[in-house]
Amino acid sequence: MRIDVLTLFPEMFAPMDHSIMKQAQEEGVLSFETHNFRRNPVNKHGHVDDYPYGGGAGMLLRVEPIVDTLEELEMTDKSRVILMDPAGKPFTQDLAQEWSQEEHLVFICGHYEGFDHRVRDYITDEVSIGDYVLTNGELPTMVMIDSTVRLIPEVVGNAHSIVEESHQRNLLEHPQYTRPREYRGKSIPDVLLSGHHSNIELWQQKEAIRRTYNNRPDLLEKAELTDQEREWVKEFESQ
Would residue 141 count as lying in a domain? yes
Q: Of 114, 149, 184, which residue constitutes the final position of a domain?
A: 149
Question: Is 82 within a domain?
Answer: yes
Q: State whether 102 and 186 are in the same domain.
A: no
| Co-location of 37 and 109 in the same domain | yes
- Domain assignment of residue 157, yes or no: no
What is the reported pLDDT for 223?
93
Same domain as 232, residue 121: no
The answer to whether 185 is annotated as binding is no
Residue 114's CATH number: 3.40.1280.10
- Per-residue pLDDT, 57: 84
Q: Are residues 137 and 195 in the same domain?
A: no
Per-residue model confidence as pLDDT tens for the chain (239 residues): 999 999 999 999 999 999 999 999 999 999 999 999 999 999 998 899 999 999 888 899 999 999 999 999 999 999 999 999 988 999 999 999 999 999 999 999 998 889 999 999 999 999 999 999 899 999 999 999 999 999 998 898 655 455 555 456 889 999 999 999 999 999 999 999 999 999 999 999 999 999 999 999 999 999 999 999 999 999 999 99
Which pLDDT value is given to residue 157? 66
Q: Are residues 33 and 135 in the same domain?
A: yes
Q: Is 66 annotated as a binding residue?
A: no
Q: Provide the residue range defining the domain that includes 199.
A: 164-238
| pLDDT for residue 160 | 46
Would you state the pLDDT for residue 161? Answer: 52
Residue 216 lies in a domain: yes
pLDDT of residue 133: 87
Please report which residue ranges of the chain form alpha helices under DSSP H: 19-26, 63-72, 93-99, 138-149, 159-163, 197-215, 217-220, 227-238
User: Is 4 in contact with 107 (CB distance < 8 Å)?
Assistant: yes
Name the phi and psi angles at 118, rounded to 5.
Answer: -70, -15
- 73 labeled part of a ligand binding site: no
Whether 130 is in a domain gets the answer yes
Please report the pLDDT score of residue 169 as a whole number. 82
Same-domain status, 136 and 190: no
Same domain? 130 vs 177: no
Q: Is 95 annotated as a binding residue?
A: no
Residue 28 marked as a ligand binder? no
Distance from C-alpha of 25 to C-alpha of 28, rounded to nearest angstrom: 5
Q: Are residues 55 and 134 in the same domain?
A: yes
Tell me if 169 sits within 8 A of 224, measured CB to CB: yes
- Number of domains observed in the structure of the chain: 2
Does residue 133 have a known ligand-binding role?
yes
Is residue 158 situated within a structural domain? no
66 close to 118: Cβ distance less than 8 angstroms: no
- Co-location of 19 and 114 in the same domain: yes
53 among annotated binding-site residues: no
Torsion sign across C-alpha atoms 112, 115, 116, 117: negative
Whether 93 and 6 share a structural domain: yes
Domain of residue 185, CATH code: 1.10.1270.20
- The answer to whether position 12 is within a domain reads yes
The confidence score (pLDDT) of residue 96 equals 97
